[in-house]
Chain A
Amino acid sequence: MNAPTTKTAASAASCTNGYNFAYLDEQSKRMIRRAILKAVAIPGYQVPFAGREMPLPYGWGTGGIQVTASIIGRDDVLKVIDQGADDTTNAVSIRKFFAKTAGVRTTTKTAEASLIQTRHRIPETPLQAGQVIVFQVPIPEPLRWLEPRETATRRMHALGDYGPMYLKLYEDIARFGRVTTAYDFPTVVNGRYLMSPSPIPRLDNPKLDRSPALQLFGAGREKRIYAIPPHTTVKSLDFEDHPFSTERWSHKCARCGAGDSYLDELVMDDHGTRRYVCSDTDYCDSRLSAGGRR
C-alpha cells in the first residue's frame, strides 16, 4: 500500500540515444515556447503552431506532450493523469515516455508535482502558485460543432461573435429545460475569448477560474496552443435565470467517503449493482492514508 509515489528514472535516459532531452529538438521546443508565450499574452486565444509528429498517436495527447516536452526541465517533477487517475494505461504510457526521454522525477501526488499533464480532469486537490497544468485537447475550437470551418470560426472569434453559442444553449433550455452539454462546457476567458476547457466534466470548470497555477492547453492534431495565465477569470457560459451547474451525486466515494469529488460509476455485477469511487486516485488515496475513510 505504501509504495513510493516518487520515482527517479536517471538510468532510463540512456535508452533514448539519438534523441534530444524530452524527445523534441531544441528548435522545435523554441517554436512551441514562442507559441506558449503568445498564448499566455492573449488568454483563451488559440495560437496556431507547427505541431510535430510525436511517437504517440494523434488524439492520445500529442498536443499536451509537445507542450510538456517544451517546458519540462531536469528539476521538474511530473504527474500524468487520464480520467483523473495516475494508473490508466495512457497516463502510464505518457509518464513512462518522459521518464525515459527526459529522465525526470515522476510522482502521483498532486501537491508534489511541478508539472501536471492531464486528460479530461483537473485534480481535486487545489493547484498552487508555481505549478503548471497541461491539458490534452482533442478539439480546441469551442464553436466547432456549430461551424465546421476554421475560416469561419476564426472570424467569429475575431469579432467576438458568440451569439450562436448562446443560441445553442438557449435552444437546449427551450427544448429540454436545461443545457445538455455534459462536458467540455464552453467558457469565456478574461471576458474576451470563448474557450474549450477540453473535455473535463462541468465539476472541474470552476477550478479554472482564478487558479493560481498556469494552465496550458495543447491540441496536437489541430495544431493549436492556448493558455489561462494564473489568476485569470474563467466564466462558464450561462443565463441569469439558468445559472451554470455541475454534476451531483447522491452517493459518496465508496473508498474514502469523499462527498465533494467527481465519482466514477462502477458496475459491479451482472445485476447492475453500482459502486461509486473518486475518479482522482491521488485524492482518494491521500484521504484514505490520512484516515479519511468513512
Chain B
Amino acid sequence: MNNYTESEVSASPRQIVIGSLAALGVAAVLLVTAVLPAEFNIDPLGTGKLLGITGMSEAQQVGALNLQPNAYHQDSYQIVLAPYESVEYKYRLEEGATLLFDWRASGDLVFDMHSEQDGVDPYEYSPSFDQGSDGGVRGSFTAPFSGVHGWFWENRSSRDVTLELTTAGFYSAATEYGQNYQNEKAFSEAK
C-alpha cells in the first residue's frame, strides 16, 4: 500500500482559515478558563473557582510539628571583619535538628551556607544551601544529616564590616574558624 501524500490531504483556503482560528480559539479558551486560574491565580471568568482549580500552583501552607530531642540554645555574636578577612561559624546539628538564624552585616559580605557530614571528607562532599553576596539573611535550616552546619563569610570590601549573628535552635556545639585558628564558642546556658 502506498502512502497518502501531502497533495491528497490538501485543504481549501477557507478550511485553513477556519482551522487556524479554531486552534487559536480553543487554545485561548483553555488558557483563560483553566491555565490562567490554575497556574497564575488569574480568573477573569470565574471558571477557575467553578472548577476548583484556582491557585493550584500556589505554595501550599502546611503546618508541621517537629519535636526535637536536643537541648535548645540561643546565641548572639558580633564579629568585625577587616578587608579580605573571612570567618566561618559552624553549628553541630543532628539529622533533623532545626536552627533558626538571622545574620546582618554593616556592608555586603560574600557568604556560603553549607554542611559537612560526619565521617565524610568535606573536600569530597559539602553541600551548599545558599551562596551569594548580601547584607543579611534570615531563615530556618533543618539538617539533612548529622554534622556541622553553618556559614563562611568574607569581607571583599575595603572597609571593616561588622557582622551580627543571632541563632536559636537545637545545636550542641558552635565553632568559629578563622583564617589561622579554630575556636570552640562558649554557649549560653541551655534553656
The finding on whether chains A and B are genuine partners in a shared complex, rather than unrelated, reads no
